[in-house]
Chains A and B, each alone.
Chain A
Amino acid sequence: MAKFPAIPQQPSLADAESRRRAIRRSLRPPPKKGGGSGLQLFVLGLIFIGMAVFAAPTCVLLVFGMVPSIVAYVVNRGKRPMQAFTIAPLNLAGLMPYLLELWTGHDQMPTVVHLLTNVYVWLVIYLAAGAGWLIFLGMPQVVSFVLQRSLDSRKGKLKELQSKLRADWGAQVGGGEDLI
């Protein structure tokens, strides 16, 4: 009797499903620990409430003035929200003269209203934030340019070393056929 070729054993459907599940599990990022983020939110909430109670004008000015940074943080909430980290210092720098004006004045809330109704104040704050945005957009291009030059320079040096070695020892030094 002729022998048939061996047929590979088919895996059962249940086995295939369980394997797919296992692959999905392995691809899924590990669940985030909510404890840290919740604590941060709680502390921020306490600070905000404290400021709202004890320094309401400052709190109002900060909330309205730091909108670009807040938006940047919300839009780009990665592990390292560099966009927000870039915009926030300049945003705060743009806001700082008005905060100091507020802190050195007497009638605080009307001063806040006065400042928030002044278009130049908004212009200064948002231009400062915009400068941060521009820096965030332009800096990768600069870094890329510098890295490219660095790589080209390293490559050139290594190629030169290889040429010198081939000249001294023949192409065989690099595993090639010696033509001479």
Chain B
Amino acid sequence: MAKPLASAGSRSTSVRLHDRFDILHDVPIAELRSPTAQAFDVDDQRSVGTSLFALIADPTLPPRGQELGILRMMRHESILTPIDFGPVDWVPDDRRCLALICERPAGGRLIAGNDQVITPWSDDEIIRRLIEPIFPGLKALSTENTTHRSIRPSNILFRDAGRRQAMLGDCFTAPTAYDQPIAYETIENAMAMPSGRGVGTVADDLYALGVTVLHLLIGRQPGGELKGDALIEEKIRRGSYAALCGEHRIPTILYELLRGLLVDEPAERWGIREIDLWLQGRRMSPKAPPTPPRASRPIELNGEHLFTARGVARALVRMGEAANHVIRGHTLEVWLQRTLAHKATSDNFAVALADVDDTGGAPGIHDARLLARTAMALDPPAPIRYRGQSVAPEGLGTALAVAVAKKNDLRPLVEILQGRLPQFWLRAQPMQKIEHPVLMLEFDRLRRLLDDHRPGLGMERLIYDANPLLHCLSPLIERDYVDHLNDLLPALERAVAGGKVDSMVVDRHISAFAANRAKALDDQVLTALGEPDPATRLLGQIYLLAFVQAQCGPSHLPALTQMLGKQAKPVIERYRSRQTRARLEGQLASVIAEGSLTRLVHFLDDLAERQSDAQRYAQAGHQYSRAEAGLEKIEFERSQIEETSRDMGGLAAAGVSLVLGGIAIAMSLYRYGFL
């Protein structure tokens, strides 16, 4: 990378962020590293006596952009919040990475890994060392209407050296709940894949808090030996509380709290208010968890006897393509209507079968959509399950970004949007929320975006729109970690100067990134980028980069200007006038030497010059046509010349004869004295 690895004044084994924080990459802090970020010591050049450390985020994962901003403003002692963040040249990986500077917790991490077995905490310890210190943080998050979604023992830190005051660890270097084990996630979130769990609500955080409390109480991860799907099945079958507690005896003082926090129905789960009252000593009897509708007789699918709609939905998803025979057959419909007798579910199923939005598509896709809709109709709170992918609608953006970064198959995720499955999910929810209409419009917008295949739009644009802090994923500059428009042109300049680019510098990722970050970018520029004509495409590229240069600088880009200017011949040939072309070609070298893309674009595409050229060309064409018509007339006249000569010759002869005769007569008259 051409950019200096460390700013002047910093140590040789450090990189400096924003001229203040020296990140010492030879001093890692193992106890503070998280699964998605390494931790390193930091020297603060403007130290105020606070010990700091840096988290270097995994560049293949999009950070939680919106939450990063909120947490930076919050600066709460109960939550690890960033003091500053930005990309730095990260020498160990020979690339740029996102670095986040945080206040260093003095007590380190509670446990190193989720599987670590610890001495069980007493109920008093749990309340004083864990719940009481972190509850204000959860309250503050709730006030800010955001979530942590990474509450688990391995992400609990202690802010004091005596390890008495717990605090919540990193929740911003990876997508929401990316590293959460299934035990700490609600049933619905656990069904979703890690990259597609969505922002969630404070109720999800409180559920994770409940499981964390249980973990400390029993000294190991709740759920016993059960992992993955088996644990989800157990939670569904027995309810989260029973599945996670197992045979363990829960102390009376924590029984109410755990019963309240591990309720599977989010609306019935304890909220911030209930915990606040509980901490103040008010004891409340936990509500009995509502039981899902259960049929009197089971339906047999794939050898399983199923009593609930959720169980049927999961069995159908497991069956895959074979499930379509069951969905289209009468047995399931009759079972839902007569045996389960839950009107909302059978109504949803009928809508799923006859969804008017599902038009076109190959038979395989059509069947997969039908299966996904049926699963949503039978189990509305569960994530969208489609062709091996399982995502919450709000987690689609991050799932796409992770799939692109990890080079996974994107088609199923794209088909989810194309098949309007998120919209169906929203309609299928039994409890319509205030944000659902807004989300519905947003998903419609994203689908339109996906259908627009121009550069700067399509799937790439969708990824940047859904992940506000995601850096540009173009292969040209991915390692430069360009997350702001200001850094785009310097990175491209380095790529061109390094010989990475031959001709076209703006690919689909760069155009989508620029269009996302620069909202005022003219749509016509994106249209020009997709034109088949090479001159128009090149002009579109120069326009886009010139726009970015005018907005963010820098003013001097010699390599980029040189590379694009060298290809400008087809653009100059758009002028009709040979004289104009010759003049522009003569001046091009001096314009390129200025190193300014804005100057280059004004030089190549001067509106007044183009209008004048077009007008003069039209006049020339008119003149040429008139000359052509004149030549045709001449040839016609030449073919008629014999007849014309005869006529005109006769007239001329008569005229000459009249004159000569007149003169002779006058002479005769004169001779005889008449004149």
**Complex contact A93–B617 (CB within 8 A):** no
A26-78 interface with B by 8 A CB criterion: none
Given contacts A100-B669, A158-B631, A135 and B664 within 8 Å (CB-CB): no
**Complex contact A82–B627 (CB within 8 A):** no
A82→B672 CA distance, assembly (Å): 30
Q: Which of A6-14, A16-24, A110-118, A162-170 contacts B (4 or more CB under 8 A)?
A: A162-170
A104→B645 CA distance, assembly (Å): 43
Instruction: List A contacts of B641 (CB < 8 A).
Output: 144, 147-148, 151
Q: Which of B43-51, B107-115, B593-601, B653-661 contacts A (4 or more CB under 8 A)?
A: B653-661
**Complex contact A140–B649 (CB within 8 A):** yes
Given contacts A128-B664, A167-B578, A169-B617, A159 and B631 within 8 Å (CB-CB): yes
Given contacts A82-B653, A136-B653, A100 and B668 within 8 Å (CB-CB): yes
Interface size class of B (residues with CB under 8 A): 35 or more
Interface bits B572-597 vs A (CB < 8 Å: 1, else 0): 00001111000000000000000000
A104→B617 CA distance, assembly (Å): 78
**Complex contact B649–A142 (CB within 8 A):** yes
Interface bits A143-159 vs B (CB < 8 Å: 1, else 0): 11001100100110011
**Complex contact A93–B660 (CB within 8 A):** yes
Instruction: List B contacts of A88 (CB < 8 A).
Output: 657, 661
A173 within 8 A of B: yes
Distance in Å: Cβ of A125 to nearest Cβ of chain B: 12
**Complex contact B646–A140 (CB within 8 A):** yes
Instruction: List B contacts of A161 (CB < 8 A).
Output: 623-624, 627
**Complex contact B576–A141 (CB within 8 A):** no
B620 within 8 A of A: yes
**Complex contact B653–A86 (CB within 8 A):** yes
Distance in Å: Cβ of B584 to nearest Cβ of chain A: 15
A85→B634 CA distance, assembly (Å): 31
B630 within 8 A of A: yes
Given contacts A104-B672, A173-B617, A173-B620, A86 and B628 within 8 Å (CB-CB): no
Interface size class of A (residues with CB under 8 A): 35 or more
Interface bits B550-585 vs A (CB < 8 Å: 1, else 0): 000000000000000000000000001111000000
**Complex contact A158–B634 (CB within 8 A):** yes
In chain A, what residue has the closest Cβ to B654?
A: A85
**Complex contact A89–B660 (CB within 8 A):** yes
Interface bits B397-409 vs A (CB < 8 Å: 1, else 0): 0000000000000
**Complex contact A96–B664 (CB within 8 A):** yes
Instruction: List B contacts of A167 (CB < 8 A).
Output: 578
**Complex contact A143–B661 (CB within 8 A):** no
Instruction: List B contacts of A147 (CB < 8 A).
Output: 637, 641, 644-645, 648
B651 within 8 A of A: yes
A132→B660 CA distance, assembly (Å): 9
Instruction: List A contacts of B634 (CB < 8 A).
Output: 151, 154-155, 158
Q: Main SS of chain A's interface residues?
A: helix
B579 in complex: contacting residue of A86, A148, A168, CB < 8 Å: A168
B246 within 8 A of A: no
Distance in Å: Cβ of B444 to nearest Cβ of chain A: 46
B662 within 8 A of A: yes
**Complex contact B617–A135 (CB within 8 A):** no
Distance in Å: Cβ of A160 to nearest Cβ of chain B: 9
A82→B624 CA distance, assembly (Å): 41
A96→B675 CA distance, assembly (Å): 14
> Which of B576, B579, B650 gathers most chain A CB within 10 Å?
B650
A96 in complex: contacting residue of B576, B638, B665, CB < 8 Å: B665
In chain B, what residue has the closest Cβ to A83?
A: B650
B118 within 8 A of A: no
Distance in Å: Cβ of A113 to nearest Cβ of chain B: 21
> Which of B579, B617, B665 gathers most chain A CB within 10 Å?
B665
B57-84 interface with A by 8 A CB criterion: none
A168→B656 CA distance, assembly (Å): 48
**Complex contact B650–A80 (CB within 8 A):** yes
A90→B659 CA distance, assembly (Å): 9
Instruction: List B contacts of A132 (CB < 8 A).
Output: 657, 661
**Complex contact B674–A100 (CB within 8 A):** yes
Instruction: List A contacts of B664 (CB < 8 A).
Output: 90, 93-94, 96, 128
A154→B579 CA distance, assembly (Å): 27
Instruction: Jot down 9 A-B pairs with beta carbons below 8 A, ordered by A.
Output: A89-B657, A93-B660, A93-B661, A96-B668, A140-B646, A147-B648, A154-B634, A155-B631, A169-B621
Nearest 3 Cβ contacts at the A-B interface: A89-B661, A140-B649, A82-B650
- Known contacts A80-B650, A165-B627, A174-B628; can you find 18 more A-B pairs with CB under 8 A? A83-B650, A89-B660, A91-B661, A93-B662, A93-B664, A96-B664, A97-B671, A100-B668, A135-B653, A140-B645, A144-B641, A161-B624, A168-B577, A168-B579, A169-B621, A170-B576, A173-B576, A173-B620
